[in-house]
Amino acid sequence: MRRLAALAFLPLAGCGGGPGNDGGATESQIERLSKPEVEIVDPRAPVRPQSLKIADLAGARMPVPDCAFGRDGRMLLAATSGDAIARVNNELRHLTQSAPMGPSGGYFENRQLSISVGRIGGTTADSGRWPARIRITNRRAEAQIELVGVWRCGF
């Protein structure tokens, strides 16, 4: 009988459902997670990076990124310590850092994409510029593209 009584009170204990306990999430985190980015529907969707525009950087409050990857004079990824942006398949994507970012490269991701950048050679004549490889992966379709360009830090 005591065991039955203890089981009856079990749902009331433990789960932190008491008043004022929200699990530590802020309102902005809850709102962001409740309104996910548009999902890539086509599982065969390729990965097509496009150039970032000045308006993209301004909209992300990133007039001068800490680091950026470029190719053929076009910026494809811009990153600061708090945000990274890339335009892929005509959508501007915000990504978070999943590893430290610096002169050797960085790793960035969101629900749809993962982007890794890594140096592939020594320093060029310009300080703060290195030959690098970027790999952009559509995590839903497992499609990916790899490009060679320049990684710059400390503009």
Evaluate whether residue 36 is within a structural domain.
no
Q: What predicted TM-score, i.e. pTM, was given to this entire model?
A: 0.69
Evaluate whether residue 18 is within a structural domain.
no
Q: Count of CB atoms within 10 A of residue 29's CB?
A: 10
Arithmetic mean of pLDDT over the chain: 79
Note every long-range contact of 122-129, with CB atoms under 8 Å and residues 24 or more positions apart, other chains counting: 124/150, 128/103, 128/152, 128/153, 128/154, 128/155
Number of structural domains in the chain: 1
55-86 tens-digit pLDDT = 999 998 888 899 999 999 999 999 998 899 99
Domain extent, residue 149, equals 49-153
Evaluate whether residue 21 is within a structural domain.
no
Evaluate whether residue 110 is within a structural domain.
yes
Evaluate whether residue 27 is within a structural domain.
no
